[in-house]
Structure 1
């Protein structure tokens, strides 16, 4: 794909067509946290809309950063915090390992099977996380080697931050692929 320079005003999703950021602006804490996380997840999907093999296009050498790598990475992050830490399941990462800690990005190869696998894994982890967050106290705790004791409240806030940071990467990656900005 080639990039076509456009003004930013031309390319933003029109408010009436944008399904993101519809969560409550007032209300209880759980609704707000879950709503903001849903908005960030929807943003990642929007950044990847209409792409297949292009999802694996790398940013710039030597980086292995790609949109597909972000999807794989965020599937593993969702899995870690919600399944492994909070639900205390034996849930090894799907795309990385102690022997290959950057496998989520390094192994993000093009091809329809790789794209389907990444999205299926991400959606399964998001679905689990949503079910878990809906039924658990915000004060439920788990233990993580990096952060120590964490609550569901902390994990939801951390996930919003994680997605927001990576959605910034996704903005730049998408613009590099086809010039799309502001989506």
Structure 2
């Protein structure tokens, strides 16, 4: 998936932390929206083909494979965690708190 496939990670090991420095907010939002759409498409296809209980092709170090259900729930947890981090940063900047 681009742009990640084209990155020379040995030459730019911190690319993912530095790549957006000169991008506009609109460009970043569009890139995020494209990634979300691709993720939804891949997930929907995987569910249609093998169901939500199918096991991942890649195995963990213990030789077990998580189910697609586990992967989706894990992604929801990670997304929520990072949204919480962003909320804390915003609160630090402007003092506003949620309900």
Is TM more than 0.5 here?
yes
Contact (CA 8 Å) 2:9, 2:15: kept in 1 or not? Answer: no
TM-score (norm 1): 0.39
| Greater mean alpha carbon deviation, residues 97-106 or residues 129-138 | 97-106
Instruction: Name 1:133's counterpart in structure 2.
Output: 43
Which is strand-richer, 1 or 2? Answer: 1
The ranges of structure 1 where at least 4 consecutive aligned residues each deviate by more than 4 angstroms after the TM superposition are 144-148
Unaligned runs of 5+ in 1: 1-90
Contact (CA 8 Å) 1:142, 1:151: kept in 2 or not? Answer: no
Unaligned runs of 5+ in 2: none
Superimposed CA distance per residue, residues 5-46 of structure 1 (whole angstroms, 9 cap, x where no aligned partner):
xxxxxxxxxxxxxxxxxxxxxxxxxxxxxxxxxxxxxxxxxx
RMSD over aligned CA atoms reads 3.1
Structure of higher RCO (CA pairs closer than 8 Å, 6+ residues apart): 1
Task: Count the aligned residue pairs.
Answer: 90
Deviation at 1:124, TM superposition (A): 0.9
